[in-house]
């Protein structure tokens, strides 16, 4: 990629950058590392549209990493509810406390990687955007843009990182990272890329081939095994019994309906809800029970939205209440 092409990409970013609450405008001082880190953790496997209002709620409630470090685990987990991938929330808490103990975020990608929940991409993104290090931040969007630029069928991460480093202009690593992210999100899309609007189309080998969508080749889809379980609905005086899941494991530390262990195979009876996790699909039935099970609390039905239930259990609650309402109308 030529120097002129890099400059065109950077100028396109200056003229068209997405205004997001965790960013600073090009040419202004960089955003605090806390905001960059928090946004990058939230954005893992989650869309910008979903993250934006949740990010703003987080930073209103905990405006600094020190404030977040002092928060109760259950408060952070409750605020995270609905964003999914709850190991991120547990790592968020651990990372905030480690950063607070050391007096601030490290300023290099190498040192940032020592923090809980921060891998190669996140460390490079924080280092480039918040601290101006010439680090190559490669997420899915960046990988697609660079693979198409060079018409690479099956790129390796090391290959893409080196090509990004070749594009770096000293002191503008943060702008380049965000320029590539924005280009991949808005123009160089997985399907129907808007090549006519791309500032570097003239330098793009995939565009020259006439079939830009071919690059990179899709990764084989994994077949998710199916598991099943049962959630128990225990209700007294317009309250439902909730428990907290074990700290370790899937949905660790989150509020939940009590229930059975999850087992392999389909649910023997018609499931109330189906939920997709990263590595498996779950069918969850709902059964009424009369007595409280385990350690928990009675949550008023009219404040269930404030309980911090993850999406799986929100689905289960909605399915149960909808079914009960239908039965009452039919009676």
Q: Are residues 184 and 230 in the same domain?
A: no
What pLDDT sits at residue 328? Answer: 87
Taking only the tens place, the pLDDT of each residue in 150-188 is 999 999 999 999 999 999 987 899 999 999 999 999 999
Cβ-contact 176, 12 below 8 angstroms: no
Has this prediction a pTM greater than 0.85?
yes
Q: Which domain holds residue 154?
A: 3-214
Same domain, 13 and 128: yes
| 148, 200 Cβ separation under 8 angstroms | no
Q: What whole-number distance in Å separates Cα of residue 47 and Cα of residue 20?
A: 13
pLDDT per position as a tens digit, 103-145 = 999 999 999 999 999 999 999 999 999 999 999 999 999 999 9
Residue 230, pLDDT above cutoff 70: yes
Per-residue HEC secondary structure of 63-97 comes to CCHHHHHCCCHHHHHHHHCCCCCCHHHHHHHHHHH
What domain count does the chain have? Answer: 2
Residue 36 sits in the same domain as residue 108: yes
| Final residue belonging to a domain, choices 214, 248, 278 | 214
- Is there a single domain that holds both residue 246 and residue 175? no
| Domain-terminating residue out of 162, 180, 214 | 214
Cα 314 from Cα 15, distance rounded (Å): 41
Alpha carbon distance 185, 54 (integer Å) = 20
Same domain (yes/no): 12, 155: yes
- Residue 2 pLDDT exceeds 90: no
- For the cut 70, the answer to whether the pLDDT of residue 326 exceeds it is yes
pLDDT(270) > 80: no
How far is the C-alpha of 123 from the C-alpha of 141, rounded, in Å?
A: 17
pLDDT, average across residues 223-247:
95
Which pLDDT does position 42 carry in this prediction? 97
The SS3 of residue 17 is coil
- pLDDT at position 114: 97
For the chain, give the percent of residues with pLDDT over 70.
99
Give which of 129, 134, 153 is closest to 143, Cα–Cα.
Answer: 153
Q: Which residue has the tokens 């005086």?
A: 237
pLDDT the model gives residue 169? 84
pLDDT tens-place string over residues 307-318 = 999 999 999 999
Q: Do 318 and 234 share a structural domain?
A: yes
Same-domain status, 166 and 268: no
Are 48 and 108 members of one domain?
A: yes
Give catalytic status of residue 40 as yes or no. Answer: yes
| Contact criterion met (CB below 8 Å) for 298 and 236 | yes
| CA 57/CA 51 separation, integer angstroms | 10
The mean per-residue pLDDT over the stretch 183-208 comes to: 97
In sequence order, what are the beta bridge partners of 282? 227, 275
Continuous H helices in 242-287:
none
List residues bridging with 243 in a β-sheet: 256, 296
Q: Is residue 186 part of a domain?
A: yes
List 40, 79, 133, 283, catalytic entry: 40
What pLDDT is attached to residue 9? Answer: 96
Does residue 1 have a pLDDT over 80? no
**Residue 221 covered by a domain:** no
Based on the fold, state whether residues 205 and 257 are members of the same structural domain: no
Determine contact, residues 110/134, Cβ cutoff 8 Å: no
Residues 111 and 71 in one domain: yes
Q: Which of 214, 244, 264 is the last residue of a domain?
A: 214
The 10s digit of each residue's pLDDT in 283-308 is 999 999 999 999 999 999 999 999 99
Inform me whether the pLDDT recorded for 3 exceeds 80: no
Averaged pLDDT of the chain: 94
């Amino acid at each position: 990629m030529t120097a002129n092409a890099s400059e065109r990409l950077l100028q396109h970013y200056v003229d068209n950058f997405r205004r997001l609450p965790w960013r600073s405008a090009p040419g202004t001082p960089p955003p605090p590392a806390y905001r960059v880190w928090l946004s990058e953790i939230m954005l893992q496997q989650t869309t910008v549209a979903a993250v934006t209002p949740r990010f703003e709620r987080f930073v209103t409630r905990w405006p600094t990493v020190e404030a977040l470090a002092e928060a109760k685990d259950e408060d952070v987990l409750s605020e995270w509810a609905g964003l999914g991938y709850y190991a991120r929330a547990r790592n968020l808490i651990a990372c905030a406390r480690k950063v607070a103990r050391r007096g601030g975020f490290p300023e290099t990608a190498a040192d940032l990687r020592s923090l809980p929940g921060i891998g190669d991409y996140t460390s490079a993104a924080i280092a480039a955007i918040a601290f101006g290090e010439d680090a190559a931040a490669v997420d899915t969007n960046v990988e697609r843009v660079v693979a198409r630029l060079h018409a690479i069928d099956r790129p390796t991460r090391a290959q893409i990182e080196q090509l990004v480093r070749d594009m770096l202009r000293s002191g503008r690593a943060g702008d380049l990272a965000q320029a590539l992210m924005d280009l991949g999100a808005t123009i160089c899309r997985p399907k129907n890329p808007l090549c006519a609007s791309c500032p570097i189309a003239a330098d793009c080998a995939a565009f020259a081939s006439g079939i830009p969508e071919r690059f990179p080749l899709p990764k084989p889809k994994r077949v998710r095994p199916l598991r099943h379980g049962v959630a128990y609905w225990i209700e007294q005086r317009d309250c439902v019994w909730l428990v907290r899941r074990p700290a370790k494991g899937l949905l660790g530390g989150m509020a939940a309906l009590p229930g059975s262990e999850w087992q392999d195979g389909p649910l023997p009876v018609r499931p109330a809800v189906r939920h997709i996790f990263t590595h498996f699909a779950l069918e969850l039935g709902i059964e009424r029970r009369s007595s409280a099970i385990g350690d928990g609390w009675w949550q008023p039905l009219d404040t269930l939205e404030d309980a911090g239930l993850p999406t799986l259990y929100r689905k289960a609650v909605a399915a149960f209440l909808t079914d009960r309402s239908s039965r009452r109308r039919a009676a």
